[in-house]
């Protein structure tokens, strides 16, 4: 067997802990650093009925939009930038032929091997030198509009702070644009085995508490509806809950699927922290966020090597005392999360 096939793909899990009410807590900043999320799930043990404030937060998660056959040059038009972009960059991941045809400055992909076959082009849309009629803007517009026109279907989302102005629906009215609502599912898990956790101990202790890695693996099984029975006759899985563990009569699981922007995730995270404002049976709860597998970036502007796996996700474990664990995971061909 070739050596490269014998090696298992590299995966990376970074963990840190903090307190949600500490003035230097960076939990919200970490959410903002991961901009492209397609699925959000939260699990609350010892919960049979969701509080109304959490229901309202979920209902207010917002729409996103599907735009068919959108030319990329429209995203560098100053009408679009002035209406929707306060600060941002257009990042293109293109193959070698497209890169050479465009003639724009870029860099070889970190994951394209010795012979570069993919390139990353980054255009700062709000750079002072990218103003209308500037040489930089004119060259980019010419390359994308005339030299090598590129046209794709796009998912777009926009955080409207209440200011008046254009909306995505009206701005792209000449295109095939459709508003989409995230898919929301609720379920109650019964007699669920849950790991015993201690907020001050990421590593866990034998017979006292489970580690952050054990919790992460267990949560993946729960969210993917893998049986925890450790049944020797099962052809799918013999996985079982790590020890020590406890059985909860009911656990509430909610999953939101769509294009969910960081600001909405932060609002949901804040309400989950407020869940412990009144006495609860649960000692902890989780919030798990998955990024798009084929996004060109994962965290911030870190290149996402989506050709092998595509995993990029993070998980908050929020404890009753508002301590939290933050777990950030990527697969092969990705930079270490911040």
Order of all β-strands in the sheet with 176-180: 151-156, 64-71, 176-180
> Residues with Cβ < 8 Å from 256, sequence gap 6 or more?
39, 40, 41, 58, 61, 182, 183, 184
Nearest Cα residue to 40 out of 290, 311, 333:
290
How many CB atoms neighbour CB 27 within 10 A?
19
Tens digit of each residue's pLDDT (9 = 90 or more) over 88-138: 999 999 999 999 999 999 999 888 778 889 999 999 999 999 998 899 999
Helix and strand totals (H; E) in the chain? 9, 13
- Supply angle C-alpha 302, 118, 85, rounded to 5: 50
State which H helix or E strand residue 79 sits in.
helix 78-84
pTM of the model: 0.91
* pLDDT higher than 60, residue 5: no
* pLDDT higher than 80, residue 4: no
Per-domain residue ranges for the chain?
A: 12-62+182-330, 64-180
Q: Compute the distance between CA of residue 248 and CA of residue 120 in angstroms, rounded to an integer.
A: 48
- In terms of DSSP bridges, do strands 118-124 and 37-45 run parallel, antiparallel, or are they unpaired? unpaired
**233 pLDDT tier (thresholds 50, 70, 90):** low
Q: Compute the distance between CA of residue 154 and CA of residue 125 in angstroms, rounded to an integer.
A: 18
Nearest Cα residue to 34 out of 336, 260, 291, 263:
291
Higher pLDDT, 165 or 10: 10
**Taking residues 49-68, what's their average pLDDT?**
94
């Amino acid at each position: 067997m070739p050596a490269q096939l014998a090696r298992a793909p590299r995966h990376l899990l970074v963990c840190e802990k903090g307190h949600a009410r500490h003035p230097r807590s960076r939990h919200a900043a970490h959410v903002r650093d991961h901009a492209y999320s397609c699925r959000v799930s939260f699990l609350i043990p010892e919960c049979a009925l969701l509080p109304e404030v959490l229901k309202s937060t979920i209902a207010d998660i917002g729409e996103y939009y599907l735009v068919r056959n959108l030319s990329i040059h429209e995203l560098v038009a100053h009408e679009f930038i002035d209406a929707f972009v306060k600060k941002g960059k257009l990042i293109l991941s293109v193959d070698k032929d497209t890169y050479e045809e465009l003639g724009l400055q870029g860099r070889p992909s970190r994951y394209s091997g010795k012979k570069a076959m993919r390139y990353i082009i980054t255009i700062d849309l709000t750079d002072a030198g990218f103003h209308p009629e500037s040489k930089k803007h004119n060259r980019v517009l010419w390359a994308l509009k005339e030299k090598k026109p590129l046209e794709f279907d796009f998912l777009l989302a926009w955080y409207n702070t209440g200011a008046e102005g254009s909306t995505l629906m009206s701005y792209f009215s000449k295109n095939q644009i459709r508003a989409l609502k995230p898919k929301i599912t609720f379920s109650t898990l019964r007699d669920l085995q849950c790991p015993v956790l201690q907020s001050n101990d990421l590593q866990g202790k034998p017979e006292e508490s489970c580690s952050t890695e054990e919790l992460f693996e267990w949560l993946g099984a729960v969210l993917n509806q893998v049986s925890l029975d450790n049944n020797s006759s099962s052809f799918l899985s013999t996985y079982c809950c790590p020890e020590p563990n406890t059985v909860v009569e009911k656990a509430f699981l909610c999953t939101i699927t769509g294009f969910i922007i960081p600001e909405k995730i932060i609002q949901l995270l804040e309400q989950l922290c407020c869940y412990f404002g009144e006495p609860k049976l649960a000692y902890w709860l989780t919030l798990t966020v998955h990024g798009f597998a084929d996004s060109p970036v994962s965290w911030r502007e870190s290149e996402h090597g989506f050709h092998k796996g595509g995993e990029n996700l993070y998980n908050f474990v929020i404890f009753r005392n508002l301590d939290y664990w933050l777990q950030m995971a990527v697969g092969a061909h990705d930079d270490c999360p911040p």
